[in-house]
Amino acid sequence: MNKRSLAALYQAAGWFLVAFVLIAGCHKLAQAEPYPRLASYHGGSSGGAPFVKADGTLDDALIKLTARYPIVTLNPNACLLRPDMPARFRYHNPKIKLLLYHQLTNWHLDSTFVLNPSDTTFYAEQQRTLNWAHAWVPGAPAYAGFPIDWKQQDGADSLIKLWVKVTRRVKPDGWFFDYFNPVSAGAYGISDDDDHNRLYHTRRLVDALHAEGVTVYGNGPGTLGQDRCGLDGGMNEGFPNGLTPFATAIKQNPGYWLKSESAVGTSGNATVARYTLGVACLTGAFSEHGNSHYTGAPEAGTWWFPEYSVTPNGQADPTGSFTSWLGEAIGPPSHISSAIWRRHFVKGCVVVNTGGTTQTVQLGGQFRQIGSQSDITQISVPPVTSVFLWRP
């Protein structure tokens, strides 16, 4: 091997080492994100309700309450109509991450909907784009699951350009697409080749948004898109007694959303909210305890629970100033018995009881309950709930 080839080999090896260090460093940073991780899956109406009141003024008190959540989804149409609305969220919480909630595959209007010619909103612009490109799945009614035909080149190109344009105008931190499922599973005669094209174009969309510096999440069956379309995370909803049992939730990767909701009769239930948050702390998921994304709760402020934000001296914090109070995780979760899971953090500990009876658990150190200044080394954990403890 001549000197020039040897030098090139050394240079290539050096760049490989640099790349390895950078990738390892990024992974370490991702694992070092503090806990617990909260999110509010809202969206709101196309006109901005409930954050925009009937008289056209902003409900600043409601916005302030909602801005306690580190991550909040908002309606893109409303954000374009009322740019002062997302601005107030950022005023109340400069660190907040705002995601634009939108339906990717199952668009909520069908091809027969007649637009008002004077309507220039984002929704109207998208409807015109779909009509112009003939980007509807033939024979698919609205809400069928696959009315937007992502294999259509013209439709895909136009939609990608539209959403990139909205991203540049609103400047969100990301998008949350619901219902993200570009594979048809044979619906309406869509072939395997059609599915390949649909996956290709939805991956182009995600890549285009990533190029704008934003994250992209999706909600769909099995959150298919994360694996095949490059999403940053997906959602498991209907926890714990609906669509998502514990056995599914515990297999989540960091970056997923774990959602308990009204559809399974759990809205506002403190035990369910605490259990959801505890399981999310085991996996690294974002915990979301809320209602439908079209309604006002939990943004009315009544579903804010003590475990969501805790001051350094162990007191529940209703202002949301200490939502990441547990700090970084110290290792993976421990499955210490058939029903009991435990995970330690820099500033506390979470114990999750997945079983049907109360269990007494050894904590593996001295901790304190929220609101208490007394040290404990064991605790009784009721069935199907979580206990959060802080470290003095």
pLDDT tops 50 at residue 9: no
pLDDT for residue 54: 94
Average pLDDT in the chain: 85
CA 357 – CA 359 distance, rounded (Å): 6
Q: Is the confidence at residue 289, as pLDDT, over 50? A: yes
pLDDT at 118 over 90: yes
Report the 10 Å Cβ neighbour count for 287: 26
Q: Would you place residue 182 in the very low, low, confident or very high pLDDT band (cuts 50, 70, 90)? A: confident
Q: Kindly state whether residue 207 falls inside one of the protein's structural domains.
A: yes
pLDDT at 197 over 90: no
Do the Cβ atoms of 368 and 352 come closer than 8 Å?
no
Tokens of 14: 């050096």
Reported as a pLDDT band with limits 50, 70 and 90, residue 32 is: low
Would you put residue 183 in left (φ > 0), alpha (ψ -120 to 50) or beta?
Answer: beta
pLDDT, residue 297, reads 53
pLDDT at 391 over 90: yes
CB distance 292 to 264 below 8 Å: no
Q: Please tell me the predicted confidence (pLDDT) of residue 140.
A: 78
Residue 15 domain flag? no
Average pLDDT score over residue span 170-199:
84
The band of 137, judged by pLDDT with boundaries at 50, 70 and 90, is confident
Does a structural domain hold residue 330?
Answer: no
Average pLDDT of span 139-156: 82
Q: What pLDDT does 219 receive?
A: 86
- Does the structure show a pLDDT above 50 at 14? no
Q: Rounded to whole angstroms, how far apart are CA atoms 265 and 255?
A: 25
Go through 77-87 and write b for each residue having 16 or more CB atoms within 10 A of its CB, e for each that does not.
bbbbbbeebbe
pLDDT attached to residue 25: 36
CATH code for the domain in which residue 93 is found: 3.20.20.80
Question: Is residue 329 included in any domain, yes or no?
Answer: no
3-state secondary structure of 384: coil
pLDDT in tens, 47-98: 998 899 999 999 999 999 999 999 999 999 999 999 999 999 999 999 999 9
Of the listed ranges 126-140, 157-171, 286-300, the least confidently predicted one is 286-300
What pairs with residue 136 in β-bridges? Answer: 148
Over residues 353-372, the mean pLDDT reads 96
Most confident of 108-117, 283-292, 320-329: 320-329
Residue 313 lies in a domain: no
Q: Is residue 50 part of a domain?
A: yes
Higher pLDDT, residue 271 or 15: 271
Average pLDDT over residues 231-246: 87
Residue type present at position 327: G
Considering the domain boundaries, does residue 105 fall inside one?
Answer: yes
Q: Which amino acid is at 6?
A: L
The length of the chain is 392
Residue with tokens 């991550």: 71
Domain residues for the domain of 98 are: 33-308
Q: How far is CA 206 from CA 42, 123, 182, 192, in A?
A: 21, 20, 12, 21
Q: Is residue 217 part of a domain?
A: yes
Number of domains forming the structure of the chain? 1
pLDDT at position 6 over 80:
no
Higher pLDDT, 290 or 275: 275
Quote the tokens at residue 4: 């020039």
Predicted local confidence at residue 89, as pLDDT: 96
Q: CA 349 to CA 98: how far, in whole Å?
A: 29
The whole-angstrom separation of Cα 348 and Cα 329 is: 9
For the cut 60, the answer to whether the pLDDT of residue 10 exceeds it is no
Q: How confident is the model at residue 385 (pLDDT cuts 50, 70, 90)?
A: very high
Confidence of residue 366 (pLDDT cuts 50, 70, 90): very high
Instruction: Measure CA 178 to chain center.
Output: 11
